[in-house]
């Protein structure tokens, strides 16, 4: 796949763009831009994925909700019924939920009778209220280990807590691709206070799968099957003393003291892996 990667460039696009990322898996680059924290400008865009089955298709993530994703998919990719899943409920992955009736999330992202995780973070509700509150969709819950059958194609739900409490990846048995959302990413924002030991254990469990490659939500190219080893190495060698400041001047995030640590120096280095964390959460995540 030839996709030019320009770091920290907001082209102000208002249209979606899509490409075939693997057999029967379409990447949909959504409008909207995340500049990224600190010295790391990042790529800045968010990618949703559409996985085509025999009877229905799965849409993983709904972008910022600032454009008609449902209409774009129906016109350009598939008219199959869509099962909509959020890899987690951050606004760049759930903003377009209101375009659908039902959205599936992992059970740790919400408890029955409680608001979803996203709503509990001070400032985040305000930051995205107009897109999040703009519809009447309802959430249904998924459990780790569930196999979702699209008709001749099954995807496994892999709970990988860390980025958020209920972050998931989906493993496509047909292509052996792991669709990792923000759970496995060139730069994981570790914002939930989940202990690293839990995150590490989930990564190790994921390695039991015969993963051919990893498609993440914020990088247009596959990360490589060995990327999970790099993440584990990063966690195992983490030294808080060697972390560096990583401020993020975003609505709802400005003023939050963050630090980061990384493997490699530059974001476009093929081996680059980074984790950024909220400084106040250090004690919790080191448990």
Q: Which is nearer to Fe ion, 22 or 30 (CB)?
A: 30
Is residue 109 involved in binding Fe ion (CB under 5 A)? no
Q: Which helix (H) or strand (E) holds 105?
A: strand 102-106
Task: Return the residues of window 213-272 that contact Fe ion according to CB under 5 A.
Answer: none
Q: Which is nearer to Fe ion, 78 or 97 (CB)?
A: 97
Complete DSSP assignment for 16-42: -EEEEEETTEEEEEES-----STT---
Task: Return the residues of window 177-196 that contact Fe ion according to CB under 5 A.
Answer: 182
- We find the least distance from the C-beta atom of residue 88 to Fe ion, in angstroms, to be 8
- We find the least distance from the C-beta atom of residue 256 to Fe ion, in angstroms, to be 16
Contact criterion met (CB below 8 Å) for 82 and 113? no
Q: Which is nearer to Fe ion, 80 or 169 (CB)?
A: 169
- We find the least distance from the C-beta atom of residue 34 to Fe ion, in angstroms, to be 7
Q: Which is nearer to Fe ion, 172 or 182 (CB)?
A: 182
Task: Return the residues of window 54-93 that contact Fe ion according to CB under 5 A.
Answer: 92
Q: Which two tokens stand for residue 185?
A: 């990413």
Beta strands in the chain (DSSP E): 17-22, 25-30, 46-52, 57-60, 82-85, 102-106, 138-142, 147-149, 154-159, 168-172, 177-181, 187-190, 213-216, 244-245, 258-263, 273-278
Q: Which residues bind Fe ion (CB under 5 A)?
A: 92, 182
């Amino acid at each position: 796949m030839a996709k030019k990667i320009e770091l920290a460039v907001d082209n102000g696009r208002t249209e979606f763009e899509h490409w075939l990322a693997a057999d029967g898996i379409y990447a949909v680059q959504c409008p909207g831009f995340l500049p990224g924290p600190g010295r790391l400008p990042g790529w800045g865009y968010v990618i949703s994925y559409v996985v085509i089955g025999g009877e229905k298709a799965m849409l993983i993530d709904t972008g910022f909700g600032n454009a008609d994703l449902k209409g774009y998919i129906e016109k350009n990719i598939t008219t199959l019924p869509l099962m909509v899943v959020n890899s987690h409920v951050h606004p760049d992955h759930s903003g377009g939920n209101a375009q659908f009736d039902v959205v599936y999330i992992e059970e740790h992202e919400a408890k029955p009778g409680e608001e979803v995780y996203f709503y509990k973070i001070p400032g985040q509700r305000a930051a995205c209220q107009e897109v999040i509150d703009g519809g009447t969709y309802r959430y249904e819950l998924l459990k780790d280990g569930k196999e979702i059958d699209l008709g001749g194609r099954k995807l496994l739900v892999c709970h990988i807590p860390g980025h958020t409490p209920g972050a998931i990846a989906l493993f496509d048995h047909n292509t052996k691709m792991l669709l990792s959302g923000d759970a496995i990413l060139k730069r994981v924002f570790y914002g939930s206070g989940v202990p690293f030991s839990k995150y590490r254990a989930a990564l190790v469990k994921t390695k039991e799968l015969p993963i051919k490659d990893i498609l993440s939500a914020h990088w247009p190219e596959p990360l490589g099957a060995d990327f999970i080893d790099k993440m584990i190495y990063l966690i195992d060698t983490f030294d808080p003393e060697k972390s560096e400041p990583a401020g993020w001047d975003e609505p709802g995030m400005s003023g939050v003291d963050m630090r980061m640590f990384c493997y490699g120096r530059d974001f476009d280095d093929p081996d680059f892996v980074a984790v950024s964390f909220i400084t106040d959460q250090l004690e919790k995540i080191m448990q």
